[in-house]
Structure formats: C-alpha cells, structure tokens
Chain A
Amino acid sequence: MNKTLPARALFYAVIVSVFVAMISGAMLLSSYHQHMLMGYYQTQERLMDNCQSGVELILGAKATGIPQVRVDLFQQEKDSVRLEQKAWGLLDVATVKSWSGQGIYQDSIIKTFLLGKETPDYALSLSEGTSPLYVCGNTQIVGTAFLPTEGVERGYFHVVQGKPYTGEKLIYGKKEIVKPTDMSIYKERFDDLKTLQDLNGNINLEQDSILQPFNQPTLILKGERFNTANLVLKGNVIVVASERIEVAANAFLEDVLLVAPEIIIQSGFQGSLQAFAWDSLVVESGVFLDFPSVLCLLPYEERTNFSPEIILQEGVEMIGTLMVPSFRYNTYKSKVTIGATAKITGQVWVNGVLQHKGIVHGSVLCTEFLLQTPAGVYENYLLDAIIDRTLLPKTYLTPSLLGTKDYKQVLKYL
C-alpha cells in the first residue's frame, strides 16, 4: 500500500517563510545601514572636535606665521591635524585639516579662517609736531586721545569760514601725551607685500567666475591694466596689474587681493577686498566696502617727487582698515583724504597726512592732520570730523598686525 501524506499546504508555507525571511533580512540590512551611518556621524564629530582643537592651537600660538605642520594632537596616533597660518595681504589666513582613514576611504574636515585681534582702545593718536591739534565746527573726538605735547585747542578757523567749535569739551575722553610708534614690527610684513608685484600670473581669465578656496594654491591674474567688469572673484585670488586696476560697480569681489600702482574702485561697487596701491587709490562715492576690507598704500623705498594718495570720496562706507605706513623720511608725505559723509568703521592708520572730513567709528592714528579749503591749507585742523571709538562694535577685530593683546581670534570663517 502506497500511502503518502499530501504536502500541498507546504508550498504555501514555504512562500510565507520566504516572505518572513525577506522582511527579516530587510530589517537586518536597515539596522546595518543605521550602524554605518552612526559610525560615520561619530567619526565626523571626532574630526570636528579635532579641527576645533587645531583652531585653538593656532589661536594660542604666538608665532606670526606657521608653516604647514602635521600634529598628533593627543599622542595616541589617531587624532592628527594639519595646521598652517600665512599672510593674506594685511590679514592672516589659517587652515586646519583633520582626517581619518586613507585613500578613497579618507574622511576629512577643513576649516579656513581669517585671524584678527582686538582693536586698540584709543580714539586718536596724533604724532608730535610743532603745533597743537585744532578742532573746529562740529568736530567730535570721543575716547582716549594721545596728543602732541602742545595738546588740543579750539581752532580760529571760524575767522575764515565762520565755523567755531561747537562742543562743550575738546576731547570727550582722556588726554595723554603720544608715544613714538615702533615701525619695525610692520617692516617685515610690508617687505613681503611689496613682493606681490613681482608675482607671475598662473591663470588666464577664460571664464567670468573664479572661486578659489584657501586650502588650494593661490590663483594669480596678471596684466598691465585690469578691469573687473562682470567678474566674480572670490577667495584665494590675487590680481596684479603693472599699471592700473579698475574695480567695476557690477563686479562681485570677496576676500581677494588687488595689487597695482593705481587702483580705482568705481561708484556703486559693493564687496570686500584688500587693495594695495603705490601711487593712488581712489574710492568713488557710493562704494560700500564690507568687513574685512583693507585699503593700503605700499611705501616707496626711495624718495618720491609726488605724494602717494588715498581718496575716499563723499558717501563711501567702509568696514575695515585703512593703512598707510612709511619707513623713511620723505618730503612728499603720503596723503589720505576722507571725504565729507564718508564713514569708516574700523581703524585708520596713516604715517602721513590725513585730511579727515568724514566719520570714523573706531580709532585714528596719523602723523598730522591737514585741512584744505578754497581759502588755504591748515595744518593739524579738524573741521566737522567725527572720531568716535565708543561706536566701534565690541566684537570688531582688526588685522593681527595692528591689534592689541597677545591672543588672536577668528575674524571670519571662509
């Protein structure tokens, strides 16, 4: 007798089992992926922590430059960072890279940032000369003032223009005798800046946008005359011209360096840049230079037969630093003109003559003031000029070169 047990239902059982196996497998796979993802996040978090530790090391280092160096942070051979700090114009740029794994399995985090220091807490520092500082009209100096031995007086300029000094006090803050400025600390940086004019171009302008991160090699655009019309230049880019650079109103520039004997920033331009000129730097009315911008006249080694000049026309607004150094005596002193209603939030540092008719929220250092009117030229006169240190934001940072205190801070993440 051949008695077999029918197994028709087993077929359905196997199908259901296959479904159960597939669902279980999917759940296991999902769990595995979650596991992988959590591992990735934890690695990223560790890399970010290491990167931040690298940032702390750079901020605390007293050296002005840090060549690229690899650091095993905790001597456990698993937390390495690569650090570098180098000059970027008047500012300093630092890069921190932390990584784990190798080759295609490498995970890395890079932080790039500009460094700065706290701004000096004086409103005005005027070098010793032969005459006192004369204040006229609606001039306001708010904050500590370092003045020549002759001090400050009400100007008799009103005899000519009918504008006597209107304030109750001549200086709204402490008055102290000025001390000589040690120029040697700036010499090395400006020697380096002068070498920028000899850079060779390494890129041809074939597209209208160049965006170069600071952890990549610097791109250099070079020519005789350069106009930035319709261009977007951002980051690690230097524009060098042997004659002149014109910054057009429709250009988008951020963090780039401009180097030329003559630079003109045309009316309507908005952006942040560092401009280094030798002969003249003109900022036309209506320009807005965002933080951290730098306008600078590079000093000549030899004596000149003209006065290099920076002119900020009426209505210019700038958040940053204006610096004009001089390392040797020259009959033709560098001259800076801040036009009426022009406003600078930051620091004005002029080893030369400053004609100030505008507003500075921050601090001013200069060798002498000059007031030029149709009636004549007046030495050490301020007419309707405002210098107010108290209106500089507390969080404002200035280039490390001009800052106070030993420790650096992050001025801007790039």
Chain B
Amino acid sequence: MKLQAFTIVESMMAMVVIMISFTAGMTIYLTVLEGDAFPLKTKANNVLNLAYEATKKEQRFLDETFNQNGLMIEKKVLAYKAYQGVLEQENIYQVSLKAYSPDEKLVAAQEHLIRVVYEN
C-alpha cells in the first residue's frame, strides 16, 4: 500500500487554515478573559470583607479612606435611624464600604448594619 504525499502548496494552504482558526479561537477567548471583571471584583470583595472584620474587631467606627492590595477603600459610618416602631433602637450603625480600582472605577460595594454595645 502506498500513501500519497501532499504537495508543498497543499500543505501551506492547510497550515494557513489551521493558523487562522487557532488565532481566531484564541483571540475570542483572551478577549472574553480580559473583559471579565470578576477576578478584580472578587478580590475587591475579599478586601472589603477584611476591612469590615477589622472595623468590627477594632471598633473603628469612623469615616476613612485607605489603600489595601492596590485598591482604594472608602469607609463611611452613619447612625442608622431608618426604622421606627417595633424595630426602634439606638446604637446601630450603617457601615458603607466601597472599593475603587487604580483608575478610580467603583469595583465593589458593601453595606452592613452593626450594633455597638457599650458596656457600663
């Protein structure tokens, strides 16, 4: 049995087709990956979680802005007085946390309510 060889032209054409399809596939995939904000958003959310835990642990209920892991974190603490009636209470605060990327785009935001207990 004899196998027929391809000509140079045939081989070149086949390689060009393969290269085009491979390049197109990779370009689409990389474009999707680059446009995906989730890795940054996940990182920002993790940083905000850490900032909130630190706020609770250190009882640091004040407005501040700081940089952490390459993100700018903005923290605002407001007295929470939105609810009256059966939910009326004192000493509850709304902690708003926002993470901005280096190009000052809002990446993630969190809102928490926290009750501060003052021991006599």
Contacts and interface: CB of A to CB of B under 8 A. Distances in A.
A60 B13 contact: no
Residue of B15, B26, B110, B112 contacting most chain A CB atoms (<10 Å): B112
Contacts of A83: 87
A56 B112 CA distance: 10
Contacts of B29: 24, 27-28, 31
Given A49-B110, A57-B113, A73-B111, A17 B21 contact: yes
Contact of A10 (B13, B112, B114): B13
Interface of A: 5-10, 12-14, 16-17, 20-21, 23-24, 27-28, 31, 34-35, 38-39, 42, 45-46, 49, 52-53, 56-57, 59-63, 65-67, 69, 71, 73-75, 79, 83, 407
B102 interface: no
Interface in B35-89: 36, 38, 41-42, 45, 82-83, 86-89
A20 B25 contact: yes
Contacts, number: 112
Contacts of A5: 9-10
B87 A71 contact: yes
Residue of A13, A16, A63, A69 contacting most chain B CB atoms (<10 Å): A13
Contacts of B94: 74
Residue of B17, B33, B94 contacting most chain A CB atoms (<10 Å): B17
A42 B14 contact: no
B10 A10 contact: yes
Interface of B: 4, 6-7, 9-11, 13-15, 17-18, 21-22, 25-26, 28-29, 32-33, 36, 38, 41-42, 45, 82-83, 86-92, 94, 110-115, 117
Contact of B115 (A17, A45, A56): A56
A71 B83 contact: yes
Contacts of A27: 29
A21 B45 contact: no
Q: Is the interface of A mostly helix, strand, loop or mixed?
A: helix
A8 B26 contact: no
A17 B111 contact: no
A374 B6 CA distance: 116
Contact of B17 (A14, A31, A63): A14
Contact of A21 (B6, B21, B91): B21
A17 B13 CA distance: 13
Contacts of B38: 34-35, 38-39
Residue of B15, B36, B111 contacting most chain A CB atoms (<10 Å): B111
7 contacts: A5-B10, A13-B13, A31-B36, A52-B112, A53-B111, A56-B115, A66-B87
A13 B14 contact: yes
Contacts of B113: 52-53, 56-57, 73
Given A28-B28, A42-B42, 17 more contacts: A9-B13, A12-B14, A13-B13, A13-B15, A20-B18, A28-B32, A38-B41, A38-B42, A39-B38, A42-B45, A46-B110, A57-B89, A60-B90, A61-B88, A66-B86, A74-B94, A79-B111
B25 A62 contact: no
Contacts of B89: 57, 60-62
Contacts of B10: 5-10
A46 B49 CA distance: 11
Nearest to B49: A45
A49 B83 CA distance: 18
